[in-house]
Structure 1
């Protein structure tokens, strides 16, 4: 077995900055295996928003690093993300939903002051209809956002914070201004 390569200083700095990122309490983050073939170095973080036991949104944040840089990326780092949430049909059927999902990404990055370039992505609505033995399942509409961008610098704190905010937006959570803490909703007794 060959020894593990030593982490480049820039990647080590980026990893340390990810640990400094803050996020809402409704969001759970955990390191997951990073894809090995996309770059010499990478880290991946999985996210999940659950409310009262129900999954509201999931996602993955992947930070890639190539010490030699990539012409395609326009830099030494690349962030690749995926977010998915099930929507109510009145929202999921909106023809402008893809534009809205992309706007959420851009606005979140800008509001966190996350500097970036070369952004691209797709927003996809998925209608699931069940038949036969599964006919009792209600129809569902999922929204998926797959995006990537080149972050500037080695601090990834604002990048991860912006992405965490987008996952919460997909989950339908209202934005929280700085310095404000939301109280947990009370459960009504039946």
Structure 2
């Protein structure tokens, strides 16, 4: 992950947070890239995109964005000097198109990932959107396309934010159909689902 240079004298807490993000242990199927961060939401910010890639054919299984904001003045809605803002998107199997629990399942993927990393987020909020596109006429032989988007934000309590990135990437892998990995286990290349 590329990093912009920040002066520790300007924000030692944010510099610690950047180190924590760089030390995060991520799955080998993850491509993480730093991108321009929003400049108006907080005095300090870093943003990354992540793609979950099937190693067997280099196909993108899921994509998302992770933004860490830091404001030492601790804005009231945050409940902390830190805020994580995330987005995740993936195509799902057509058979889930009519599942009325799909939104709740998507949200549980996030909360389970946070819990598995012992994260108790402050002011967790978000939405799960699922869209089904059906084809008709000359295209009626196509299966429905099902896409899920999970948007969420929460407030870490300190600069130890690497675990927050790890949890979010685990959730992104789940959305993309990767099997969960026990801690310390390296994934072998394989097929999706």
Give the TM-score range, shorter chain. Answer: 0.7 to 0.9
Instruction: Decide whether the 8 Å contact of 1:118 with 1:150 is kept in 2.
Output: yes
CA spacing shift, 1:134–1:65, aligned 2, 3 Å: farther
Q: Deviations over 1:24-55 (max 9, x none)?
A: 10111110111122112110010001211322
TM superposition shift of 1:93: 2.6
Q: Distance in 2 between matches of 1:37 and 1:43?
A: 12
Structure 2 unmatched ranges of 5 or more: 1-5
Runs of 4+ in 1 over 3 A off after TM superposition: 4-7, 129-139
Deviates more, 1:177-186 or 1:97-106: 177-186
Q: Deviations over 1:35-94 (max 9, x none)?
A: 122112110010001211322100000000111110011111100000000011112331
2:30 is aligned, of 23, 27, 36, to 27
Alignment match, 1:128: 133
Instruction: Decide whether the 8 Å contact of 1:80 with 1:148 is kept in 2.
Output: yes
CA spacing shift, 1:136–1:32, aligned 2, 3 Å: farther
Structure 1 unmatched ranges of 5 or more: none
Instruction: Decide whether the 8 Å contact of 2:81 with 2:157 is kept in 1.
Output: no
Alignment match, 2:15: 12
TM superposition shift of 1:127: 2.0
1:55 is aligned, of 60, 66, 69, to 60
1:101 is aligned, of 98, 102, 106, to 106
Q: Distance in 1 between matches of 2:38 and 2:13?
A: 19
Q: Distance in 1 between matches of 2:30 and 2:79?
A: 31
Alignment match, 2:47: 44
Q: Are 1:171 and 2:176 an aligned pair?
A: yes
Q: Are 1:147 and 2:146 an aligned pair?
A: no
Q: Distance in 1 between matches of 2:154 and 2:144?
A: 33
Q: Distance in 2 between matches of 1:64 and 1:135?
A: 45
Instruction: Decide whether the 8 Å contact of 1:61 with 1:82 is kept in 2.
Output: yes
Q: Are 1:161 and 2:166 an aligned pair?
A: yes
Q: TM-score when scaled to structure 2?
A: 0.86
Q: TM-score when scaled to structure 1?
A: 0.88
RMSD, aligned α-carbons: 2.2
Q: Distance in 2 between matches of 1:23 and 1:57?
A: 15
